Amino acid sequence: MTAETPLKILVIDENPIRRAILEAGLRDAGFSNVTLLGDTNGLLERIYAVDPDVIIIDLQNPSRDVLEQMFQVSRIVRRPIAMFVDQSDRETIEKAIDAGVSAYIVDGLKRERVRAILDMTISRFGAFERLRAELEETKSALKERKVIERAKGILMKSRGLDEAAAYGLLRRTAMSKGKRIGDVAESLVSAIDLLES
Amino acid sequence: MMTHSRPGAPDAPQSLRVGFIPLADAAALIVAVDKGFTHAHGLDVELVREISWSNVRDRLNIGQFDAAHLLAPVAVASSLGLGHVRVPIVAPFNLGLNGNAITVTSALYRALAAEADGDITDPGVSAAALFRVVAQRKARGQDPLTFGMTFPYSTHNYQLRFWMASAGVDPDEDIRLVVLPPPYMVESIANGHVDAFCVGAPWNSVAVDLGIAHILHFVSEILERAAEKVLAVRKDWATRHPDALARLLHAHAAAAAFVEDVENRDEVCRLLSAPNRLGVAPEVIRRTLDGRLKVAPSGQLRASARYLLVGREGAARPDPVQAAWLYAQMVRWGQAPMSMELLSAAQAVFRPDLYDAVLGAPHGRAAGEPADGIGAFAGPPFDPSDLEGHLAPWRIKRTR
């Protein structure tokens, strides 16, 4: 691919973190001509200025419909086609949709040249999604721990228990009701908040 | 071993995923699921709210959705392979006829009213006024007016074009027609990005309520009957899962009847207004279903018995004449070549036979409905066997 001109890639993604992750991935893979767009103001002019070979857009971006119309009616942009055009490549398409991304590719590009970009994009979108899920998990675990601490404190104070006994009581209650400790703690804390408010 | 599966009979998928865009004409689908009609018919349906028609189309095509609330012209375009990969889609049930409106900024409304030679609610009068406003702007060296619509293959696109071109306004040369996602329409008219738009409910009412725009037309003033959204499934899915499809149609027929019954209106509006459905106030949705809309910031009302037809007047039964009309517009505006094969492929997308097999055939056309099934305000009656004749009288067209 060294003999060929580097592909011009345009990334349209409202999420700045994912945008950065994707750009880094593409650069690491040797694609140096990457342009990032965070918003879609003046989209047509910007596409015209960049003249991309490949456009990558996240599926949560409502401007996908806008893009599709530009390719249809505009006389000033080259007409990229959705990656969905080739039905033989179902697997990639499904992976891309699962990862939350869509790509448009200028007609006539050899698909081997585009493949690496698509694979990279899909894997980076996947990585971002995992990162986000982990963050959510950490956040809710942290929140749950705080709630359990409060519930323990309430029990220690109102029933004169030590910390281990308070935790044991929460645990037994959870088991006997078939609930999670976090949920029992949550109910106790909200009940107390109600009574004291 | 799967002893319960009968050889030769494909298992009906009891769990379905169905995509939709938050619009009032998804009412029959949303009520079918949220009021429990699908459950009563043995289906477990997960509704997935989507953000763009491109996403709905792609996820239906690739099989991530079993069915979808889809723009009628997208179902046709997808089946013909226009602008995208060809995936045969069938529409066994119409989710809505009409339901869009053309909304203009207060400034453009004043300009049109000043030029209107007659009743501005007459689309012939308003289109002629638009012609004069466009000419004045051109003479003054002003930018062309910008109109927003929702998708290249949309009824909105064709309704706007049909209306303005009838009076000599060229939608490609004299006007800037841009695609905007429906939830961005109001913002775009507020910040001056567009002078007008054609979109479904509730966005027209939202713009009027903000005091920045007037509803110029209900699209039913331009065409009495226009297939707007369909319940779309892949053709191969319909073939493989006739049982699930039948259940889905039963549930939708029950839901459409429920939506049309005024007694249920409060409940329907409440269901639709949920944050994960339309996410707008029930009162705004109610105006659409009642067909009684505030059309001006002053509070002026306009009512129409044809604003949005969900199930009444035979609206739910797919009419191939509608598909032919949509294809004719695709030909007129250069999106498709003219061919008898494509015409019959387009008509075959709308499947009254599937509807009738499950829900029973109707007894003729509903009384008071247009004889040609379309009822356009201009031009001769529509005849699907004579598309050349339909296109011939129009001076402005982009036929290939």
CA distance B225 to B202: 20
Question: What pLDDT, on a 0 to 100 scale, did the predictor assign at position B12?
Answer: 47
Q: A141: distance to nearest CA of chain B, Å? A: 26
Task: Write down the number of H helices and E strands in chain A.
Answer: 7, 5
CA distance B66 to B231: 10
**What pLDDT band is residue B360 in, cutting at 50, 70 and 90?**
very high
Residue range B278-331, pLDDT digits in tens: 999 999 999 999 999 999 999 999 999 999 999 999 999 999 999 999 999 999
Question: What pLDDT, on a 0 to 100 scale, did the predictor assign at position B285?
Answer: 94
Average pLDDT, rounded, for chain B:
94
Interface of A with B in 64-103 (CB under 8 A): 64-69, 72-73, 82, 84-87, 90, 93-94, 97, 102
HSE-CB at B193 with a 13 A cutoff on CA atoms is 18
Please check the confidence at residue A85 and state whether its pLDDT lies above 80. Answer: no
**What pLDDT band is residue A6 in, cutting at 50, 70 and 90?**
confident
Residue range B256-281, pLDDT digits in tens: 999 999 999 999 999 999 999 999 99
CA distance A168 to A2: 66
Choice among A8-12, A90-94, B240-244, B259-263 with the minimum mean pLDDT:
A90-94
- What are the chain A neighbours of B23 within 8 Å (beta carbons)? none
- What are the chain A neighbours of B51 within 8 Å (beta carbons)? 59-62
List the single best residue of A65, A68, A75, A107 to mutate versus B (max B Cβ within 10 A): A65
Q: What is the DSSP string of B89-120?
A: EEEEEEEEEE-EEEEEEHHHHHHHHHH-SS-T
- Of all residues in chain A, the one with the smallest CA distance to B78 is A85
ipTM of the complex, rounded to two decimals: 0.85
Cβ distance of A84 and B150 shorter than 8 Å: no
Choice among A175-179, B76-80, B324-328 with the minimum mean pLDDT:
A175-179
Q: Which segments within chain A are labelled E, that is strand?
A: 9-12, 34-37, 54-58, 80-82, 101-106
**Can the peptide bond before residue B152 be classed as cis, meaning omega within 30 degrees of 0?**
no
Any idea which residue has 């918003």 for tokens? A39
3-state secondary structure of A143: helix
Q: A94: distance to nearest CA of chain B, Å? A: 7
Question: What pLDDT, on a 0 to 100 scale, did the predictor assign at position B160?
Answer: 98
Q: What is the DSSP letter of B194?
A: -
Entry pTM? 0.86
Size of interface A-B (CB pairs under 8 A): 66
Burial-class residue B94 by CB neighbours within 10 Å (0-12, 13-18, 19+): buried
Parallel, antiparallel or unpaired: strands B67-71 and B15-20: parallel
**What pLDDT band is residue A42 in, cutting at 50, 70 and 90?**
confident
- Of all residues in chain A, the one with the smallest CA distance to B63 is A94
List the single best residue of B17, B53, B179, B197 to mutate versus A (max A Cβ within 10 A): B179
Choice among A7-21, A74-88, B195-209, B296-310 with the minimum mean pLDDT:
A74-88
Q: Are A158 and A166 in contact (CB under 8 A)?
A: no
Please check the confidence at residue B171 and state whether its pLDDT lies above 90. Answer: yes
CA–CA distances in Å: residue B365 to residues A148, B77, B372: 66, 27, 10
- What are the chain A neighbours of B52 within 8 Å (beta carbons)? 59, 61-65
